[in-house]
Amino acid sequence: MAGPVSSAPRTVEDIYKDYAARRAGLVRALTSDVDGFYSMCDPEKENLCLYGLPNGGWEVSLPVEEVPPEMPEPALGINFARDGMRRRDWLSLVAVHSDAWLVSVAFFFAAKLNGNDRKRLFNMINDHPSVYEIMADRKGRENNPGVDNSSKSRHSTKV
């Protein structure tokens, strides 16, 4: 599923690469592969989780049975709320939980880094929009196709 910890990334750069690949997989699941992802999350199935993989892929599967797990687990039971919510709201909820999982995995791997390295990793992560922000931007573009949001900066500048 999410890969054994024995091959866990150890440097800031390697942890960031792992984060970026997992994030790319989650973004793909929630955007270009959304119909396949949605159909995999049948509420009649057991507790399912969405995993972003270190190779840039994604999968929907049951959580690991190992207790405690080797690394943080994503939100459990994402499939149960699927039919009780509007599709877009459900996808946004999955995106928020995915962001929380991504950060928890990155900082799980970063546990042995010093404060400056953790801060550098945090800044590298924050240089890019979250999965939720990508979903919200996509929703905004779908609702306002004539508005170009591509040049808006994510960071405000203090004057």
Is 156 a residue whose pLDDT tops 50?
no
As a whole number, mean pLDDT of residues 88-108 equals 98
The candidate with the shortest Cα–Cα distance to 109, out of 1, 18, 22, 21, is 18
pLDDT digits (tens, 9 = 90+) for 42-83: 999 999 999 999 999 999 999 988 888 899 999 999 999 999
The one-letter amino acid code at 11 reads T
As a whole number, mean pLDDT of residues 11-22 equals 98
The candidate with the shortest Cα–Cα distance to 63, out of 71, 22, 11, 134, is 71
Which pLDDT score, from 0 to 100, does residue 6 have?
Answer: 52
pTM to 2 decimal places: 0.85
Is 91 a residue whose pLDDT tops 90?
yes
pLDDT digits (tens, 9 = 90+) for 31-44: 999 999 999 999 99
The mean predicted confidence, pLDDT, of the chain is: 89
Which pLDDT score, from 0 to 100, does residue 88 have?
Answer: 95
As a whole number, mean pLDDT of residues 102-131 equals 98
Is 3 a residue whose pLDDT tops 50?
no
Which pLDDT score, from 0 to 100, does residue 157 have?
Answer: 39
In the chain, pLDDT over 90 holds for what percent of residues? 75
Where does residue 157 rank: exposed (0-12), middle (13-18), buried (19+ CB within 10 A)? exposed
d(Cα 102, Cα 81) in Å, to the nearest integer? 21
